[in-house]
């Protein structure tokens, strides 16, 4: 990892070489320092060139002397580097550069593992970009382009990053990355390899650092340092700036410094924990940089490799809080921000995202500021009005939990809504699993003649619905269970249950949707938040997203 001692040593050795005071062993030390950190090559060449230009100018070459002016002795820098010394200095840099380029060329020909994806939060990938998932290794040269959301990376060298969309980001190696636009928070703990982050106009080098970088679409950018130091160098020449902890700096689109200010840590998400980064670094020491080895480890040793340190949130099939969406209508077919961007949603009329002053809360869980609003049945709609449906990435062939917060506005005795699960996107009505509100009460239904009611529903009251579905297995019946506002410490006994007959339940269920009843008024509205589908109660009901905005 780069540190002030190494930087000062490289600068000192370069100065001694310029002064022709360097023994052979110091030449070797300088070569090793340059080879270990290619960024130092640029600094070295810049230092040599500046010294040579000063010596050339001060010694009179190309200058103007007058007879009246007495000839003054040139300062010590004058003539420091003769032609052969200049050639030797550049030759040293060239030899190291060629070596680095050869290694770089070899590295590029075979992609190697540069990082591991640790977490995602409401990620929407850019069009045409193949999504990646938690525990997937990321190879050199991979570009990550997000429309929105955030993801967390552990670099194999021990550093870590949180990347927030919209952004375009490329990992050139385990120690170097490029941010074309977007936001990154970087963490380089003790013992981690130093990292270099390149933007269209700047080059950032950490010195034991936690820092944030923002690159706007117009290429202007800002850097906030929270811990350690960051060296910022314009890519088109200009003076480098050393930023200390709690300092921030703003550059315009041409890479010119325009403002210094205080770092604003509260604007940015937290980076990955140092424990997680140590785990990735240890994996890298065990597995090397071969992508195939990482994939085998993920597939064969996932519990010890990942699950113990991955929050329960990441076992979810759907996790929608809607907070990332701007208020407005949702129409047609599109993808929403589920955790793995695997579910394709279809929306009917009357669906929108709205901002609520008070987040929905019930059963010990709380929603967020934005919710999905489903309008009541309009006069032009016949019968039941389907508002949306979503296809699950996995078929329901083993137990699952479905949880959501609901608030009905305008509830009276003949209003009806249900969340349904079926084998098709257009439910048949009498052979699906339904939960919702009917006749002023909460209900669970399998067939028309098999309904269970529990508790009275109140107008504009928040309720937490938790449904467990154990599908039938062969000839053995399954079971459906419903909880309304279960206690925070665990579900306890369900409020309603019934057996699921293999004769009446489809063999494969993978669709979920919500519909409004035929007697709901146009002014009615159903609000839904925190819609989750998962394999365990803890993950579906209790888990929280580990990344924060």
DSSP class per residue in 469-533: EE--BTTB-EEEEEEES--TT---S-SEEEEE-TTTS-S---EEEEEE-TT--TT-EEEEEEEEE
**Band (182; pLDDT cuts 50, 70, 90):** very high
**Band (428; pLDDT cuts 50, 70, 90):** low
Q: 70: buried, middle or exposed (CB in 10 Å: 19+, 13-18, 0-12)?
A: exposed
Cα separation, 184 vs 269, in Å, equals 9
Which pLDDT score, from 0 to 100, does residue 76 have? 39
pLDDT in tens, 451-469: 899 999 999 999 999 999 9
The two tokens of residue 512 are: 């979920």
On whether the CB atoms of residues 477 and 502 are closer than 8 A, the answer is: yes
Of the spans 276-290, 320-334, 370-384, which averages the highest pLDDT?
276-290
The two tokens of residue 211 are: 């820092």
Which pLDDT score, from 0 to 100, does residue 8 have? 63
Cα separation, 110 vs 108, in Å, equals 5
| pLDDT beyond 60 at 396 | yes
Place of tokens 């933007």: 199
Sign of CA dihedral 393, 395, 400, 404: positive
Of 491, 472, 488, which Cα lies nearest the Cα of 480?
A: 472
Cα separation, 400 vs 233, in Å, equals 53
DSSP 377-421: PPTTS-SSEEEEEEE-SS---S-EEEEEEEEEES--TT-EEEEEE
Cα separation, 328 vs 528, in Å, equals 15
Which pLDDT score, from 0 to 100, does residue 549 have? 35
| pLDDT beyond 50 at 345 | yes
With residue 41 as reference, give the H or E element that holds it.
helix 39-58
Taking residues 98-124, report their average pLDDT: 68
Average pLDDT taken over every residue of the chain: 77
Taking residues 107-115, report their average pLDDT: 76
Determine phi and psi for 186, rounding to 5 degrees. Answer: -110, 140
Which pLDDT score, from 0 to 100, does residue 326 have? 75
Instruction: Let me know the angle formed at the C-alpha of 213 by 207 and 216, rounded to the nearest 5 degrees.
Output: 155
Cα separation, 225 vs 245, in Å, equals 5
Cα separation, 259 vs 243, in Å, equals 13
On whether the CB atoms of residues 415 and 515 are closer than 8 A, the answer is: no
Which pLDDT score, from 0 to 100, does residue 424 have? 67
CA torsion, ordered 481, 483, 484, 488, to nearest 10 deg: -160
Of 390, 373, 367, 391, which Cα lies nearest the Cα of 464?
A: 367
| pLDDT beyond 50 at 104 | no
β 113-125/221-234 pair status: unpaired
Count the helices and strands in the chain (H runs, E runs).
8, 30
| pLDDT beyond 50 at 65 | no
Of the spans 104-118, 241-255, 315-329, which averages the highest pLDDT?
241-255
Q: How far is CA 243 from each of CA 233, 246, 248, rounded to the nearest angstrom?
A: 11, 9, 7
**Band (115; pLDDT cuts 50, 70, 90):** very high
Percentage with pLDDT > 70 across the chain? 69
Of 368, 339, 374, which Cα lies nearest the Cα of 356?
A: 368
Which pLDDT score, from 0 to 100, does residue 476 have? 83
Of 373, 378, 347, which Cα lies nearest the Cα of 518?
A: 378
Which pLDDT score, from 0 to 100, does residue 156 have? 93
Taking residues 466-487, report their average pLDDT: 89
Taking residues 246-257, report their average pLDDT: 90
Instruction: Give the lowest-confidence range in 195-209, 374-388, 394-408, 464-478.
Output: 374-388
Place of tokens 């028309």: 448
On whether the CB atoms of residues 434 and 419 are closer than 8 A, the answer is: yes
| pLDDT beyond 90 at 20 | no
Taking residues 337-355, report their average pLDDT: 68
3-state secondary structure 402-413: EEEEEEEECCCC
| pLDDT beyond 70 at 294 | yes
On whether the CB atoms of residues 153 and 195 are closer than 8 A, the answer is: no
Sign of CA dihedral 80, 85, 91, 96: negative
Task: Kindly give, in sequence order, each residue whose CB lies less than 8 Å from that of residue 501, ignoring residues fewer than 6 positions away.
Answer: 446, 472, 477
Cα separation, 101 vs 20, in Å, equals 28
Which pLDDT score, from 0 to 100, does residue 167 have? 92
Which pLDDT score, from 0 to 100, does residue 44 have? 57
Phi and psi based region of residue 471 (left: phi greater than 0; alpha: psi -120 to 50; beta: remaining): beta
Which pLDDT score, from 0 to 100, does residue 170 have? 94
Sign of CA dihedral 534, 538, 542, 545: negative
Which pLDDT score, from 0 to 100, does residue 402 have? 94
| pLDDT beyond 50 at 543 | yes
| pLDDT beyond 50 at 72 | no
pLDDT in tens, 184-234: 999 999 989 999 999 999 999 988 789 999 999 888 999 999 999 999 998
Which pLDDT score, from 0 to 100, does residue 393 have? 67
Of the spans 17-21, 229-233, 367-371, 463-467, which averages the highest pLDDT?
463-467
**Band (74; pLDDT cuts 50, 70, 90):** very low
Which pLDDT score, from 0 to 100, does residue 71 have? 40
Of 321, 361, 368, 535, which Cα lies nearest the Cα of 464?
A: 361
Of the spans 261-275, 319-333, 434-448, which averages the highest pLDDT?
434-448
Query: In sequence order, what are the beta bridge partners of 15?
Result: none
Phi and psi based region of residue 26 (left: phi greater than 0; alpha: psi -120 to 50; beta: remaining): alpha
Of 125, 161, 158, 156, which Cα lies nearest the Cα of 143?
A: 125
The two tokens of residue 229 are: 């130091």
Percentage with pLDDT > 90 across the chain? 31
Instruction: Let me know the angle formed at the C-alpha of 69 by 65 and 71, rounded to the nearest 5 degrees.
Output: 75
For residue 37, the 8-state DSSP code is -
For residue 541, the 8-state DSSP code is I
Which pLDDT score, from 0 to 100, does residue 134 have? 77
Which pLDDT score, from 0 to 100, does residue 149 have? 81
Which is higher by pLDDT, 29 or 39? 29
Of 139, 155, 269, 152, which Cα lies nearest the Cα of 206?
A: 155
The two tokens of residue 171 are: 């990992």
Cα separation, 471 vs 479, in Å, equals 7
The two tokens of residue 59 are: 């010694």
């Amino acid at each position: 990892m780069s540190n002030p001692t190494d930087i000062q040593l490289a600068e000192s050795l370069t100065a001694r070489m310029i002064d022709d005071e360097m023994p052979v062993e110091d030449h070797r030390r300088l070569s090793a320092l340059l080879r270990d950190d290619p960024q130092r090559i640029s600094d070295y060449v810049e230092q040599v060139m500046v010294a040579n230009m000063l010596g050339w100018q001060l010694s009179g070459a190309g200058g103007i002397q007058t007879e009246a002016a007495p000839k003054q002795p040139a300062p010590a820098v004058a003539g420091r580097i003769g032609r052969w010394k200049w050639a030797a200095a550049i030759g040293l840099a060239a030899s190291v550069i060629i070596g680095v380029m050869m290694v770089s060329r070899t590295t590029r020909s075979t992609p190697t593992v540069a990082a591991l994806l640790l977490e995602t939060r409401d990620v929407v990938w850019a069009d045409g970009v193949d999504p990646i998932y938690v525990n997937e290794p990321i190879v050199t040269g991979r570009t990550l382009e997000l429309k929105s959301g955030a993801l967390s990376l552990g670099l194999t060298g021990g550093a870590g990053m949180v990347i927030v969309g919209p952004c375009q980001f490329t990992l050139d190696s385990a120690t170097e990355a490029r941010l074309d636009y977007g936001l990154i928070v970087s963490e380089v703990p003790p013992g981690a390899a130093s990292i270099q982050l390149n933007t269209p106009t700047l080059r950032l080098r950490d010195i034991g650092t936690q820092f944030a970088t923002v690159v706007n679409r117009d290429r202007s950018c800002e850097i906030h340092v929270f811990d350690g130091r960051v060296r910022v160098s314009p890519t088109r020449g200009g003076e480098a700036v050393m930023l200390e902890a709690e300092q921030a700096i703003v550059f315009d689109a041409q890479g010119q410094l325009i403002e210094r200010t205080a770092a604003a840590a509260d604007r940015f998400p937290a980076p990955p924990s140092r424990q997680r980064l140590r785990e990735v670094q240890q994996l890298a020491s065990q597995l090397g940089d071969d992508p195939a080895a990482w994939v085998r480890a993920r597939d064969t040793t996932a519990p010890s490799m990942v699950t113990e340190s991955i929050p329960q949130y990441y076992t979810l099939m759907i996790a929608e809080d809607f907070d990332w969406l701007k208020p407005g209508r949702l129409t047609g077919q599109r993808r929403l921000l589920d955790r793995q961007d695997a579910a394709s949603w279809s929306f009917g009329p009357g669906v929108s995202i709205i901002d609520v002053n008070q987040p929905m809360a019930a059963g010990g869980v709380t929603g967020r500021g934005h919710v999905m609003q489903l309008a009541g049945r309009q006069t032009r709609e016949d019968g039941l009005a389907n508002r949306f449906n979503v296809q699950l990435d996995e078929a329901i062939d083993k137990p699952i939990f479905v949880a959501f917060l609901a608030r009905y506005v305008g509830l009276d005795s003949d209003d009806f809504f249900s969340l349904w699960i079926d084998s098709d996107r257009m439910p048949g009505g009498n052979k699906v699993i339904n939960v919702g509100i009917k006749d002023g009460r909460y209900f669970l239904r399998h067939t028309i003649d098999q309904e269970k009611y529990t508790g009275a529903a109140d107008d504009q009251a928040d309720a937490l619905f938790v449904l467990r579905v154990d599908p039938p297995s062969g000839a053995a019946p399954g079971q459906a269970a419903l909880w309304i506002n279960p206690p925070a410490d665990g579900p306890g006994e369900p409020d309603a249950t019934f057996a699921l007959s293999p004769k009446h339940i489809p063999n494969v269920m993978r669709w979920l949707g919500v519909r409004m009843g035929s007697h709901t008024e146009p002014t009615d509205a159903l609000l839904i938040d925190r819609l989750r589908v998962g394999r365990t109660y803890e993950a579906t009901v209790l888990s929280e997203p580990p990344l924060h905005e």
